[in-house]
Chains A and B, each alone.
Chain A
Amino acid sequence: KSKEAEIKRINKELANIRSKFKGDKALDGYSKKKYVCKLLFIFLLGHDIDFGHMEAVNLLSSNRYTEKQIGYLFISVLVNSNSELIRLINNAIKNDLASRNPTFMGLALHCIASVGSREMAEAFAGEIPKVLVAGDTMDSVKQSAALCLLRLYRTSPDLVPMGDWTSRVVHLLNDQHLGVVTAATSLITTLAQKNPEEFKTSVSLAVSRLSRIVTSASTDLQDYTYYFVPAPWLSVKLLRLLQCYPPPEDPAVRGRLTECLETILNKAQEPPKSKKVQHSNAKNAVLFEAISLIIHHDSEPNLLVRACNQLGQFLQHRETNLRYLALESMCTLASSEFSHEAVKTHIETVINALKTERDVSVRQRAVDLLYAMCDRSNAPQIVAEMLSYLETADYSIREEIVLKVAILAEKYAVDYTWYVDTILNLIRIAGDYVSEEVWYRVIQIVINRDDVQGYAAKTVFEALQAPACHENLVKVGGYILGEFGNLIAGDPRSSPLIQFHLLHSKFHLCSVPTRALLLSTYIKFVNLFPEVKPTIQDVLRSDSQLRNADVELQQRAVEYLRLSTVASTDILATVLEEMPPFPERESSILAKLKKKKGPGTVTDLEDTKRDRSVDVNGGPEPAPASTSAVSTPSPSADLLGLGAAPTAPAGPPPSSGGSGLLVDVFSDSASVVAPLAPGSEDNFARFVCKNNGVLFENQLLQIGLKSEFRQNLGRMFIFYGNKTSTQFLNFTPTLICSDDLQPNLNLQTKPVDPTVEGGAQVQQVVNIECVSDFAEAPVLNIQFRYGGTFQNVSVQLPITLNKFFQPTEMASQDFFQRWKQLSNPQQEVQNIFKAKHPMDTEVTKAKIIGFGSALLEEVDPNPANFVGAGIIHTKTTQIGCLLRLEPNLQAQMYRLTLRTSKEAVSQRLCELLSAQF
């Protein structure tokens, strides 16, 4: 029948049911059930149902089983969040749970497990554990209770109270009823993931249960044997449970587990007991789970290599499913140091799979495995194979392959000309799938490695000769020639003018962002090649540029033209200087791949393979956010992003935001900085009056400080101590000055070695110059990789204004004379505050001296008061400061008064010092 006829028929029926429900005549249970059931049917046909809930709830309290059953089914399928209904439903469930009728209890538990809402968790999370462990509960009810509780724990873990019942649940692993064990194992696994300590005893119980299953004859377990495989579901679940824990410590348990795993591996070699696919699936399900456990433990080389050989057999199996799983499972084996080499021996088979598999999802697994097994020895082969596969690859997986090739090419590049060739090939073959991250990265690397710059310039120049080349190539070409075109300008075939004409021939075919980038290249050419300046000025001056409808392009044309006209050669050379090296950082491509693949999958591979090349960026600049910007405070410097360059993660992403501000044209959002570590405020305060000590400490890292200051200069030694026995990789401390702080405080430092060995300490020296008074503190952000995880810590660096104090001794008379001179209300800042520490005179004196000012005795007529004086030295000016602290012992209060010639200084010093008492 036609769709319309069906809808018509259904609407008629819905109207009928509605009228029955609304009718004056009360419906009997049977009719109610009938209509509720019809509603369900209609819903399952794919139509919306918005009534009938109340009738279904009524059915719940029926004593007739079928009516109750249909009521529960309706509630489970058509969950409704109406709170009044939920109250009624919960009430009905409560009654059934208390009924002691196992069939009714089962229905109620099934309903809770199906709906699993928070309201249900609130109502029953306390009750169900009791049902689960009660001695007289029927087995089938126990099974339902266990899984019901699991469902509630998944939705609302906070509402499921741990308690006495947990140990009794663990002992369900010993239950005689295999169905109970099956259900309980799922519950225990989920609970153990979150509370490993509490469920530790499950390990030995699970091992002995597993051992009994794998050694049993195929008929022993009766109905729990599935196609000659003893209890496959339970075996898989037990193996999953064991993956919540490290290898058992008890040698006996450990030995028994190893035996089990060996038995499972041995059975895989035995001839099949049945030709049915169910037999082999069940058997292999257990085998794959056992292999997962072996990989998880990653401690038995013998088992790992056996697992690898087994998977190697599956790689050529006629069952597509097994080939798929073998490729998938081998990916994780590749990351174990014990089996990496064994996995590599299968490279030809995997490459063959890439070429011959008919199913794209299997080919995708082959790509993943090639990526995982790649190392320096086979990278050229694997990258070449991936590139050639890319030509015909399915569109759905192209982008991912592009990312993988880009990462491998970078990671295993011994020869950077190979790297440049590979990336240009990528753009040629799959330009549309080459994301920004990829071409940013090639530029970063070329800029950071001067040995490849000439080659890169030559190669992009040649690639650009192609009549039709991808826009991404124009971007890379434009950027690289703008920086390094001079390296090939000596060759008459690539003279400056030829380079310019080549680029400009692509200009009109490109999108606005690329054109914007090319304009920057042109202005860079003006600096590199004075002889082409008139040609470029002509181009900039043309109406199509100067009057371009796009505000970004127009602005660039106007400003660049002006810059090329007014600036002297020297200024041009400064402004348009070669980009400084980029700071070493985690490849943004890798981050992108991780994002694509979800966390976990990629990270594991990265960390276990320790031979990552950390020197990709050559001599990385440390990214002192303030240095270059302050040293060349020409506004036009920022124009070209030079100031922002050390923190800009990538090439020139022309952010054509409507603002048209060129300042951020070259800077992408900086890498994410962690929020300040907890407690760092307190530590920070402690350093106001002292210069040495421990600034930060967690389980991995300790940061110590030692610093000295003289006049407006200072030097700080930062000590990074690795408290673990494992190396930190990509260890990158970065000093961050906010925009407000940057002009006033100049920090310079050298990078530290990106690898910090376990137990080692590395030192970093920061040279500090106070340019003008400032109120904020710089932030020290530290990023590194430890084991499997990326660490990101931020602390405030205690460089405070008072560090630039020089104490000044003066007599009482002088003090009061100056005090009066600073009587302008803006010059004085006063704070009255409660003492946070015991009010000890000697301690207070020490703090004032530590603060940096001189402590003047016998100045204040009241001997209980403290008076200090000093001069804050900045590069631009010196600021005299006077302070007076009046303790009130009775009230446990202080009054602090600061007078200086500058309001901001009085304010800041008062803030800093108030926090000390």
Chain B
Amino acid sequence: MQFMLLFSRQGKLRLQKWYVPLSDKEKKKITRELVQTVLARKPKMCSFLEWRDLKIVYKRYASLYFCCAIEDQDNELITLEIIHRYVELLDKYFGSVCELDIIFNFEKAYFILDEFLLGGEVQETSKKNVLKAIEQADLLQESQNEEWGGLSEDIL
């Protein structure tokens, strides 16, 4: 996998993970183009499309689009299930995840993704094992009030 993007129906990017080295400018360009392309597609359309020399696999969950770019020989259906498994992981961790969870706890969304996918490849498919790793990390956290997030509420 070359990258994964999460964005809202309004086209707001919520999470980006790049597995190939690209400049910020390229990343922005790709994001803009892809968000447009995917949002323009109708609901019943196929989840796969060719884009440049990559294959895009995307799926919408509630207000969020999950969008992966894979290479020519990669398997589309299993990528679709990568997305689903990631959603399941988020769901389990946050307990019925919603877009706001990902906005305000973006770091958790990243940590879970890193346990599941690394370097663009599936690292661990067992839901239990991934969540166990995250929970262990959470235990290491000092018990302290999570106050740093004040900014985000103000903005939105």
Contacts and interface: CB of A to CB of B under 8 A. Distances in A.
Given A117-B21, A155-B21, A288-B75, A148 B81 contact: no
A30 B119 CA distance: 30
A116 B20 CA distance: 8
B78 A232 contact: yes
Interface in A59-92: 64-66, 69-70, 73, 76-77, 79
Given A324-B48, A361-B45, A282 B81 contact: yes
Interface stretch (A6-14, A255-263, A510-518): A6-14
Given A224-B125, A243-B73, 11 more contacts: A6-B155, A44-B16, A44-B106, A64-B142, A73-B107, A140-B133, A144-B118, A178-B125, A182-B125, A282-B78, A361-B49
A186 B77 CA distance: 17
A231 interface: yes
A117 B18 CA distance: 13
Interface stretch (A35-43, A302-310, A485-493): A35-43
Instruction: Return the 3 tightest CB-CB contacts between A and B, nearest first.
Output: A151-B119, A285-B77, A34-B148
A620 to B, nearest CB: 34
B53 A233 contact: no
Nearest to B15: A44
B60 interface: no
B125 A233 contact: yes
Contact of B120 (A109, A151, A288): A151
A285 B81 contact: yes
A46 interface: yes
B13 interface: yes
Nearest to A66: B141
Residue among B75, B120, B140, B156 facing the most chain A CB atoms (10 A cut-off): B75
A118 to B, nearest CB: 9
A278 interface: yes
B140 A65 contact: yes
User: Taking each of B50, B107, B137, which has the highest tally of chain A beta carbons within 10 Å of its own beta carbon?
Assistant: B107
Interface centre among B14, B17, B80, B123 (most CB of A within 10 A): B123
Interface in B131-155: 133, 136-137, 140-142, 144, 147-148, 151-152, 154-155
A13 B151 contact: yes
Interface in B95-141: 106-107, 110-111, 114, 118-129, 133, 136-137, 140-141
B126 A178 contact: yes
B75 A285 contact: yes
A150 B107 contact: no
A603 to B, nearest CB: 13
A15 interface: no
Interface in B15-49: 15-17, 19, 21, 24, 42, 44-49
B9 interface: no
Contacts of B126: 178-179, 222-224
The size class of the interface chain A forms with chain B is 35 or more
A275 to B, nearest CB: 15
Contacts of A154: 119
21 contacts: A44-B106, A66-B140, A79-B21, A116-B19, A117-B21, A179-B126, A183-B118, A183-B123, A186-B122, A223-B129, A224-B126, A233-B81, A236-B78, A281-B80, A284-B77, A285-B75, A285-B78, A289-B75, A292-B73, A361-B46, A362-B46
B84 interface: yes
A389 interface: no
Contact of A33 (B19, B47, B124, B148): B148
A113 B118 contact: yes
A508 interface: no
B121 A150 contact: yes
A285 B50 CA distance: 18
Contacts of B84: 278, 281
B94 to A, nearest CB: 17
The main secondary structure of chain B at its interface with chain A is mixed
B118 A223 contact: no
Contact of A110 (B50, B114, B144): B114
B49 to A, nearest CB: 5
Among B17, B80, B155: residue with most chain A CB under 10 A = B155
Given A44-B13, A278-B84, A598-B53, A325 B45 contact: no
A321 B46 contact: yes
B85 A226 contact: yes
Instruction: Bin the interface of chain B by size.
Output: 35 or more
Given A147-B118, A289-B75, A182 B49 contact: no
Nearest to A179: B124
A10 B125 CA distance: 38
A38 B125 contact: no
Contact of A226 (B15, B73, B81, B111): B81
A301 to B, nearest CB: 24
A243 B73 CA distance: 10
A554 B106 CA distance: 67
A174 interface: no
Contacts of A270: none
Interface string A307-342: 000000000000011011100000000000000000
A46 B15 CA distance: 10
B155 A9 contact: yes
B18 to A, nearest CB: 8
Nearest to B19: A151
A182 B78 contact: no
Contacts of B129: 140, 179, 223
A314 B57 CA distance: 19
Interface string A242-283: 010000000000000000000000000000000000100110
Contacts of A535: none
Contacts of A37: 107, 148
B127 A223 contact: yes
A38 B106 CA distance: 11
B87 to A, nearest CB: 11
B122 A148 contact: no
Contacts of A73: 107, 110-111
Interface in B65-85: 72-73, 75-78, 80-82, 84-85
Interface string A591-632: 000000010100000000000000000000000000000000
Nearest to A41: B152
B148 A186 contact: no
Nearest to A109: B118
B121 A359 contact: no
Contacts of A223: 126-129
Contacts of A292: 73
Interface string A122-165: 00000000000000000010011001101100110000000000
A182 B15 CA distance: 25
Given A73-B110, A103-B140, A289-B75, A361 B125 contact: no
A278 B155 CA distance: 37
A193 B119 CA distance: 17
A64 B142 CA distance: 8
A240 B141 CA distance: 40
Contacts of A236: 75, 78
B154 A9 contact: yes
Contacts of A25: none
Given A278-B81, A282-B81, A321-B76, A182 B111 contact: no
B150 to A, nearest CB: 9
Contacts of B16: 44
A364 interface: yes
Interface string A92-133: 000000000001001001100110110000000000000000
